[in-house]
Structure formats: structure tokens, C-alpha cells
Amino acid sequence: MLDILHCTPECVPYSKTGGLADVSGALPEALTRLGHRVAVVTPLYASVDRDRHRVAHTGREVQVTLAGRTFDFEVHETTMPAGTRVLFLANEGLFGRPQLYGTREGDYPDNHLRFGAFAAAVFGVVRALRLRPDVLHCHDWQAGLVPAWNHLHLDLFATVTTIHNMAYQGLFSAEVLPDVGLPWELFNPEQVEFWGKVGFLKAGLVFADRITTVSPRYAREIMTPEFGCGLDGLLRRRGADVSGILNGADYGEWSPATDALIPSTYSAADLSGKAACREALLRECGLAPARGPVFGVVGRLAEQKGFDLLACVLPDVVALGASVVVLGTGEAAIEDHMVEVASRYPERVAVRIAYDNGLAHRIEAGCDFFVMPSRYEPCGLNQIYSMAYGTLPVVHAVGGLDDTVADVDEDPANATGLKFRTFTREALLDRLARAVTLHADAAAHAAVVRRAMAADFSWDASARAYEALYAGLVSAR
């Protein structure tokens, strides 16, 4: 049995801005079910529902002093269903704000202090609660200084840094270095300096014993200039310490057989409920009954997700006889473009600029295909959810999208969706048109649907891969 402490800026079901939170909630629980002693340490944000999640003050406090400035944290606690211990660091000045990282106007200007103090406080929690972790598993840039502090503490613990998205590195002006308690000798290109700035994620990559990311292909991609965001050289040098472990899916929440948020449950053995979900979704979105396929989109409407490319081809998709349902928020230009197209085709295109978890589930259940044209995608989870619901993913073959989806033409015997390999309007439209022809062949379409629904991306395999990684680290110390 190993003692594992996850250090993360967000964790489902307590706080979330993206897939990082899903991993930080699901992976510790999967490891707990394997028999390990697992805890999570995370900030106690104002948005955490303390009553609902039974968050209680432990009676312990942690004090951190950085550059002469003292930060006091109360330690709160709750327990996840499988038994994972969740430790919250509460500091009203740092984390008692409306959002986790910033507002629509931009990031909070003191994020370096917020997460620099958080990283230092992790070691205070370990001391205060007399924890004895074998491994500190640190997630993304917000926990990037934890391995740096561990290095300064003479490598007390084995450390792992997981990259959830290379594009978010936690870069701050050089002047913040003493403010977060780090000595100037670390400010050099081989350690925390990145083009004249302090890189929190870079610190995590330099000082962690092992580096992981959330899919095998993304682990390879980030070692290239195209996807490495300026850190590809460092990652190549540390190549023997870098591995990609695919994220899992929470089938407790995402299963058409048990989903309470959809109008009719169903399974691969009986797809009649899916047809009912399709009709209900069209009615809910004000679209006309459709003989052609219904394409679904749920996500952040941003260039990274490729939705600017999708917006350009929506009129062509309508011309193919298909309907489209879009749910999400994001960049204003893409939102406006989507809404403008919907106004031209009110019976065929519905766009909801919102966050709506219930509608997201109904889109997964009611659509025939799910479109994810990301420019890059570390792992992605919606394509996995879509397969579980028999909603075939149409994806750009990058990162975890390439790892999880088998194309109907490239690998017909194992096909679970469709992939395009060049990020162009023509390539995307070609695969969408292929989806329309597949849908028209009811028997062929049903065969791919059932194969997709049989795919298993549960957390057990991912947790066992992390278990092996931790065990190797501990045995090597």
C-alpha cells in the first residue's frame, strides 16, 4: 500500500473549470479502490458548497511566510465516497473570490501569490497532520512549485508532475520570484526562468522525478516545437522520465443506461431509447424533425477547440441534410459566428451560449455524431462520453482524440468514429460528409454504434498505470 498526496487547484465535485478537475476527483478515488491510502489537497474556494459536501474544519492551521509576508490557512476536510481524504486550504484573502483563477476581464493579478503560497502550504499540511506521503502528485502549473519546494527541502518525497495542457504554464514577471519564496539562484534557463519570466509549470517539469501527461500521443506531441509551447527541448532532455497515461471516464455519471438527466435510458442491446432522446432533443432545441443525422457540440467555444473552423462549415453541413446542436461559451467572435449561422437556419441549427450540464447530457444522448475539431487536445473526455452514448465522435486526429477513436475508413474492423488528419476546412467537411453517408446506411451505422458503446475507458487501467509508476519511484529511492 502506498501513501499518495495529490496537489491540485481544482477537484470534482468541489471545484471545476475543466477536465483537470475530473481527473483530480476520479484518479484518487480509483487509487483508493485499489487499496492505497490517498489524499487530495486543494484550495477552499468561495464556490465550494461546504454544507452539501460536509466540509469541516479540522482544528488545524498552517502558516506560511514568503518574503516576510505571512499567510494563514485553516485546514478543512471531507471524504469522497470511496474513502479518499480531501484536505482544503482556506484563506479568505487568497481563495474567497467569485472565480477560481480570474474574471472575464482576465486572470487575477496575484495568482503567483495565491498558488505560490498554496504550494508552500502543502508542506505545512503534511507536517500539521503528520502525513507520510510516498508520492506528491502535482497537477498543472498551479502546483508546479511543489516539486521546487520539495527540492529545496532536500527531496523529502518522490514527486510527479502531470501536464493537463501545455498551453497554460503559469508565467509571471521575474520580480515575483522572491515574493513566492524561491531563491534567485533558481532563476536560470535550466531551472525556473522562461524567456525572462518565472515559469511555474517549468519548475514542476524541472524538479519532479517523473512527468506525465494525459494521453500517450500528447506525451509525444509536447516534445515537438508545434505542441511543446517552448518547453519541448526540456521535455526531450527528460524524455526517459516522461510518459502518457490516458485519462479515464466516470461511467457512474456518463452512462445512457442509468443517466437521470436524459428523457429515456437505453443500451447497446436496445437503442430505442436513443431514438426517443433524439426526438426530444430536437423538440427542446426548436429544430425540425430530421431524417439526416444530428451533430452535437459541447465545449469551450475557442480556437484551441477548432470551433472557428466548424463555424465556417456549418452552412455546408446543413446543405448535406444534417442538423446541428451547439452548447458552450467562449470567445466572443466564435460565439457570434455560431449564433449568426443559427439565425440563418433556425430549423436546422440551434446554438445555446450557456453552461448547462443537463443539456450536455441530452446532447450526448440525442445526437448521432459528436464533433471535436480541436487544433490540439491533450486527452479529451467528451469523445469517450460520446462513444458510451452511441454518439459517434468526429475528431481531429491529435492527442487523446487520436488515441481513443478508430476511424471507419482507416480501421473499419475496429471503427468507433471518424477522424480527419489535416486541420483544414476541406478535411473537416469531408469527414462530416462521410458521417452523413454512414448514417444513411442504417446497418453499417448501427454496427459502429454498438462497437463504440462497447469501448471501455474506465479509470481502473489508468489508475493501475499510475500505481506502477509510483511503485517504481518509491523503490528507486
What is the Cα–Cα distance from 195 to 470, expressed in whole angstroms?
32
Interior/surface letters 341-376, b for 16+ CB within 10 angstroms, e for the rest: bbeebeebbbbbeeeeeebbbbbbbbbbbbbbbbbb
Are 284 and 172 within one domain? no
Residues 67 and 202 in one domain: yes
Q: 72 lies in which domain range? A: 3-248+460-476
pLDDT for 375-415, tens place per residue? Answer: 999 999 999 999 999 999 999 999 999 999 999 999 999 99
Q: What letter represents residue 189's amino acid? A: P
Strand partners, 193: 198
pLDDT range class, residue 305, cuts 50, 70, 90? very high
| Domain assignment present for 260 | no
Tell me: do 154 and 21 sit in the same domain: yes
295 and 238 in a common domain: no
Residues 342, 118: Cα–Cα separation, whole Å: 44
Residues 370 and 429 in one domain: yes
pLDDT at residue number 105: 80
Same domain, 435 and 468: no
pLDDT at 309 over 80: yes
Question: Is 253 part of any domain?
Answer: no
Residue with cell 521535455: 235
- Residue 443: all three cell numbers together: 446497418
What is residue 391's predicted lDDT score, i.e. its pLDDT? Answer: 98
Verify that 452 and 400 share a domain, yes or no. Answer: yes
* % the chain with pLDDT above 70: 100
Residue 286 C-alpha cell reads as: 426548436
Q: State residue 288's pLDDT score.
A: 97
Question: Is residue 136 located within the same domain as residue 185?
Answer: yes
CATH assignment at residue 115: 3.40.50.2000
Residue 262 resides in a domain: no
469: in domain:
yes
Q: What is the per-residue pLDDT for 86?
A: 98
Does a structural domain hold residue 67?
Answer: yes
Q: What is the pLDDT of residue 154?
A: 83
Q: How confident is the model at residue 250 (pLDDT cuts 50, 70, 90)?
A: confident
My answer on whether 294 and 438 are in the same domain is yes
220 pLDDT above the threshold of 90: yes
Check whether residue 214 and residue 343 sit in a common domain. Answer: no
In a domain, 265, yes or no: no
User: What average pLDDT does this structure show over 431-457?
Assistant: 97
Q: What's the distance, Cα to Cα, between the start and end of the chain in Å?
A: 16
DSSP-derived 3-state class of residue 391:
coil
Instruction: Output the nine-digit C-alpha cell for 407.
Output: 476511424
Task: Round the CA-based radius of gyration of the chain to a whole number and report it.
Answer: 23
Helices (H) and strands (E) in the chain, counts: 16, 20
Please indicate, yes or no, whether residues 242 and 287 belong to a single structural domain of this protein.
no
Q: How many domains, in total, are found in the chain?
A: 2
Same domain, residue pair 219 and 282: no
Question: Within a domain: residue 190?
Answer: yes
The Cα 195–Cα 360 span in angstroms is: 40
pLDDT at res. 18: 81
- Supply the pTM of this predicted model: 0.91
What is the CB neighbour count within 10 angstroms for residue 51? Answer: 6
- pLDDT cut 90: percent of the chain above it: 94
| Euclidean distance between CA atoms 384 and 249, whole angstroms | 7
